């Protein structure tokens, strides 16, 4: 099952010549599917909101109940571990949103951007799942969303790689 092209226009509707700056390139089939666009949008926007809320909480402008925070949220090392994900999460969010924008403008650069976003999303989820597993902490509030980050990109990965050829 390849959902990469699900709900996308017929390939012939996507085959067009486009002028991107000085170079004229062929835009070939593989319009972004609605399901991929939705998955990237939801994940990337939620992560940007998470980091905005985390930053506001860190500087004391947004109180978050302690039972909503991850385990040992007051331990400086655990806070540093959490913030070590910021560049990775920002990278997958920015590349995912850029892929959506480029796909809307039928720019073929959306394909490698989507692939990068999918891989980085899996890496972030896998690292967090590994951490919580090594600590033996299975709080569903934190473990399941990270497990989802590891798993959902798999449904799009095969098609993303195939579209680069």
Say how far apart CA 39 and CA 159 lie, in whole Å.
15
**164, 111 Cβ separation under 8 angstroms:** yes
Average pLDDT of every residue of the chain? 86
The Cβ-side half-sphere exposure at 86, using a 13 Å CA radius, reads 11
The Cβ-side half-sphere exposure at 18, using a 13 Å CA radius, reads 15
The pLDDT assigned to 86 comes to 98
Q: Which helix (H) or strand (E) covers residue 128, if one does?
A: helix 110-135
Say how far apart CA 162 and CA 58 lie, in whole Å.
42
The pLDDT assigned to 89 comes to 97
- Those residues whose C-beta lies under 8 Å from the C-beta of residue 38, and which sit 6 or more positions away, are none
pTM, two decimal places: 0.81
What digits encode the pLDDT tens for the residues 134-154? Answer: 999 898 998 999 999 999 999
């Amino acid at each position: 099952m390849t959902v990469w092209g699900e709900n996308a226009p017929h390939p012939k509707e996507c085959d067009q010549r486009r002028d991107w700056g000085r170079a004229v390139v062929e835009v070939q089939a593989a319009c972004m599917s609605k399901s991929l666009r939705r998955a990237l949008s939801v994940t990337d926007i939620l992560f940007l909101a998470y980091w905005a809320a985390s930053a506001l909480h860190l500087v004391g402008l947004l109180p978050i109940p302690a039972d909503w925070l991850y385990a040992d949220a007051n331990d400086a090392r655990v806070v540093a571990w959490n913030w070590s994900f910021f560049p990775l999460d920002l990278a997958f969010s920015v590349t995912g949103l850029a892929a959506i924008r480029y796909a809307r403008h039928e720019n073929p650069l959306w394909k490698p951007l989507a692939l990068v976003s999918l891989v980085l999303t899996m890496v972030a989820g896998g690292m967090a799942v590994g951490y919580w597993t090594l600590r033996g902490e299975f709080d569903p509030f934190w473990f399941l969303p990270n497990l989802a980050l590891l798993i959902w990109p798999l449904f799009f990965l095969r098609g993303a790689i195939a579209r680069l050829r």
